[in-house]
Structures are given as structure tokens and as C-alpha cells.
Amino acid sequence: MDNQKRQYSIIVVTYNNADGLKRTLKSIRQLDYAQKEVVVIDGDSNDTSLDVIAEHQDVITTSVSERDNGIYNAMNKGIRLVTGDYVVFMNAGDEFANADVLSLVNRYDGDIILGGDVYGGKQRMPKETMTLYDFLSIGICHQSVYYRKEVLQKYGFDESYKLIADLKSVVEPLVKDRVTVSVVMDVLAKCEGGGLSKQRWRDTLTENRRLIDELVDPFYREDYQRFARINNGMLHDFTVLSHFHSIFPLIKWLSKMVSFLNSKFKHIPIE
């Protein structure tokens, strides 16, 4: 594929966030890359989102406003409408890091291209080479992930996952098809904080465990074992303990005490 002619599809998912939608569309308007289309999937908003969509028809290629069954259902709707070579998703309120993001991504090849992000004001960067272990432990920011359209259309987003279907959309083709992953060591998106996966972190851990159980095969056994020592063995106990918030100050105090004792007595020889 001639990178100079590569087309990008930007899918914007929104529901009752007119102000956020304005910011996202303004960010798209400032992009310096011409070969792009914009698909807006609105979940039947009852604020002024439809007015915002009408005001930005010169930027928007296609828009749909109807009820959906959650964010991943809305994202799947968008997949069926795109025509570009690569696809990226933005939630209303999210922005591209700067005007030349698509031009930067266009220098890279891969079935999946991903980069860094600023999430809730904090910068997060991937590793230069992302392994299965890295994806499972670090996670992804879907606003900084560019999927080759054919990969995305094959796998889409598993709507039985409520919190990390976006992570599965990267891990599953990596495991099953050994897709190529290219990493851009630069910030590609600025995202609003406070997503559901952060708010419902116990459920997120449980879905992460399910993802491992479903997708890890013997080819990735070494990565799986490294991750399992951290999450699989401790996940159940940690999830149970997390319901008892009062225990955490005690654990913190005990940890400090152990560190103090270790610093005081570590040089005393054992008879």
C-alpha cells in the first residue's frame, strides 16, 4: 500500500456530551492529513449533540443517531460504516495530540499501530516492543490505536466484555493471527480521565483474568507464566480483600514496619 494514499477512518462515539463532541470535532478539523473520513455514532442523545453534528457537517462524512447497547456496540456500528485503510476511535471529549498525528502514524506500517497518550493529564507511553505480557499488564488506550481495517472487521469488539473489549480487540488478533504491531514512541491522543475501566477496577481485573483464560495458548506460555504469577494466583484474594477498604491502612502499616525492621536488622548475622 502506498502510504501517501492511505486513508484513515475516525470513528467518534458520543452520548449526551455535546461540549466534548465539539472539542473532538475541532481537533479533527485541525488535522493536516487530507485522506480521512469521520464517522459519528451517537447513542440517541437528548442534549444538543445533534445540533453540534449539524454544525460540523463539513467535517463529518457519516453520522448515525440511535440507541445502542453500550460503547462497544456503538464502536461495532462504526466499523460497519468505514471505508478507510486504517481505523481509530475517539470518544467525545478526546482529542488528537496535535495536528500532524495522522501524518506521523502514516510513516509506520503494521496491522496494528499504537502510540502514547495523555490520560486525565498524565502521560502514558507504550514500550518500544510490545509483547503479549506487556499488553496484558500495561493495557492500551484505544484512542491511540490504529487498526488495519481488515483486522478490525474480522474481530471487532466482543460485547460480552463490558470494560476491556478494546484490549481484547488487540490481543485476540495478536494471539490468533500473529498480526504485526508497530509502536510510535510519541503521544497520539489526549483523553478525558475517569473511564469505566478505572472506576470499576475490580471488574476490570476479573475480565482481564477471563481474557487470559480464553486467549493465551502454549505459544505464549512463558509470557503467560510471568503474568500469571502476578495476577492469576492473587486475583481472587485481592478482589475479595478489596471489598474491605479498612484493611488497607493496616497492610500499609505492616509493610512499613517490615521495611523498617529489615533496614535495622538485615546486617545482623544469623547464628
Q: State pLDDT tens for residues 105-134.
A: 999 999 999 999 999 889 999 999 998 888
Count other Cβ atoms within 10 Å, centred on residue 122. Answer: 8
How far from 17 is each of 22, 42, 73, 178, 181, CA to CA, in Å? Answer: 9, 10, 18, 37, 32
Q: Which amino acid does the sequence have at 154?
A: K
Average pLDDT over residues 46-56: 97
Question: What are the backbone dihedrals phi and psi of residue 189, each rounded to the nearest 5 degrees, phi first?
Answer: -145, 150
Q: Which amino acid does the sequence have at 198?
A: K
Q: State pLDDT tens for residues 181-202.
A: 999 999 999 998 765 555 567 7
| pLDDT score for 242 | 52
Q: Is the pTM of this model over 0.85?
A: no
Question: What are the backbone dihedrals phi and psi of residue 169, each rounded to the nearest 5 degrees, phi first?
Answer: -65, -20
Average pLDDT over residues 164-192: 95
pLDDT: is 265 or 212 the higher one? 212
Q: Which residues does residue 190 pair with via DSSP β-bridges, in sequence order?
A: 95, 118
In this prediction, residue 239 has a pLDDT band, given cuts at 50, 70 and 90, of very low
Q: Which amino acid does the sequence have at 8?
A: Y
Q: Which helix (H) or strand (E) holds 154?
A: helix 149-155
Work out the burial of residue 129: count CB atoms within 10 Å of its CB; fewer than 13 is exposed, 13-18 middle, 19 or more buried. exposed
| Burial profile 185-205: b = 16 or more Cβ within 10 angstroms, e = fewer | eebbbbbbeebebeeeeeebb
> What is the rounded distance in angstroms from the CA atom of residue 157 to the CA atom of residue 72?
6
